[in-house]
Amino acid sequence: MSIHGIAVRIEKLNKSFGSNHVLKDIDLDIAPGETFSIIGPSGTGKSILLRHIIRLETPDSGQIYFNDQPVFDNGRPLPQTFRSSMVFQSSALFNSLTVAENVGLWLREHRICPEARIRELITEKLAIVGLEGTEGLNTSELSGGMRKRVAIARSLAMEPDLVLYDEPTAELDPVTTDELAETIRSLRKKTGNTTIIVTHDLNFALYLSDRIAMMHRGEIIEIGVPDQIRNSANPIVQRFIRTTTKGIQGG
């Protein structure tokens, strides 16, 4: 399997909605193939930052670069040679379609390759997320964890350079959350994609991330490998760890 993955660099990114300054001079450097999580309490700007990376929002100032290529020009998204895909919180699957139809949707809409290759890609991507042989199942009958994995397979079908996850564990029970963490971790080896995850599930982020950034009130207040986050001297980070993990992970 080919190895993808791009560098993502964010420089002095700012965004306000009226008087609400939601992103304040955000700087981030994410390496090709890195699994990077953005954590923090509700309303701190995590999703808005992700929406800039996928170009659903434009910044007031600052820039994002994919492999040194600028993403915006004067507040407008530039055409990209790199492909990003997003796994939405709700999974955003079509219940009236089968698993295979959901996974193949983007490929068929964009007529990316011949039908035989599309079927191969669907089978290949379902196997990567551990859903071999589920092509014909009705999407409406799947569990939350299976739906999430179908959504991941659909995003992988685009053969992305960058995969983004918005609150992937929302609505999942603890066992399914563990399975999902395992799936995303194994994808790193299988695809080499750069992966950015927004979550307020600290344990999930600690388990599968190469590095983690913590946001607070529109700013990045801590960044580092999981152990650096666990042992951060920043009282806001420590309070977040205490309230979200209750001591799990030895933290």
Ligand X SMILES: Nc1ncnc2c1ncn2[C@@H]1O[C@H](COP(=O)(O)OP(=O)(O)OP(=O)(O)O)[C@@H](O)[C@H]1O
Residue in 8, 35, 45, 155 binding ligand X, rule: CB under 6 A: 45
**Binding of ligand X by 42 (CB under 6 A):** yes
d(CA 229, CA 223): 7
Candidate list 1, 3, 27, 43; residue touching ligand X; CB under 6 A? 43
Beta carbon nearer to ligand X, 20 or 138: 20
Instruction: Say whether residue 48 binds ligand X (CB under 6 A).
Output: yes
Please report how close the Cβ of residue 163 comes to ligand X at its closest, in angstroms: 18
DSSP code at position 215: E
Tokens of 121: 């890609």
Q: DSSP letters along 83-129, please? A: -EEEE-TT----TTSBHHHHHHHHHHHTT-S-HHHHHHHHHHHHHHT
Give dist(CA 246, CA 107) in Å, integer. 44
Q: State the number of CA atoms in the 13 A half-sphere of 174 facing the CB.
A: 3
In the bound complex, what is the minimum distance in angstroms from residue 95's beta carbon to ligand X?
Answer: 24
Tell which positions 205-244 bind ligand X, by CB under 6 A.
none
Based on the shown chain and the rule CB under 6 A, indicate whether residue 17 belongs to the binding site for ligand X: yes
Q: Does 44 bind ligand X (CB under 6 A)?
A: yes
- Using CB under 6 A, list all residues that contact ligand X: 17, 20, 22, 40, 42-48, 200
